[in-house]
Homo-oligomer: A and B are copies of this chain.
């Protein structure tokens, strides 16, 4: 599986100076990248990418989904953790209903689980998405028919 939807620079572990062994990645910082049309539907902005060093696997970025926007279905080789930081959105594991998530909630996907996440039909959602390593397999888009199955409380 290879990483797509991020630039090579985003995914590369930085060379840490001694003073940079604590990195503070400010909300919305870095070059804002539009989520690739191949991997997302609607307006999606990726900012503030980060990645671990010295054997730490963790890496991630902040992703903002405008109302109606969502990722395509995808699978993370070592799972994924989402920390919702603003608004409310939807998340779905294949075979289960779409579920509502709001600021302060955490979502953990087990390794190999096919899933998607994004805004609700009427509200934006921002999360910090974290994974261990770069292994992600991007699959088909979430169709309008699939997305229309979101919960009644948007």
Q: Which residues of A approach B to under 8 Å, CB–CB? A: 16, 19, 21-28, 48, 50, 52-58, 60, 62, 78-79, 81, 83, 85-86, 91-93, 96, 99, 101-113, 115, 126, 128, 130, 132
Contacts and interface: CB of A to CB of B under 8 A. Distances in A.
For the complex formed by this chain, how many copies does it contain in all? 2
5 contacts: A50-B106, A52-B79, A60-B81, A85-B85, A85-B103
Query: Secondary structure at chain A's binding surface: helix, strand, loop or mixed?
Result: strand
A21 B110 contact: yes
A40 to B, nearest CB: 19
A130 B22 contact: no
Contact of A110 (B24, B53, B99, B110): B53
Contact of A27 (B16, B22, B102, B128): B102
A103 to B, nearest CB: 7
Contacts of A24: 91, 99, 101, 105-107
Given A110-B21, A126-B104, A58 B58 contact: yes
A104 to B, nearest CB: 3
B58 A103 contact: no
Contact of A104 (B85, B104, B115): B85
Contacts of A48: 106
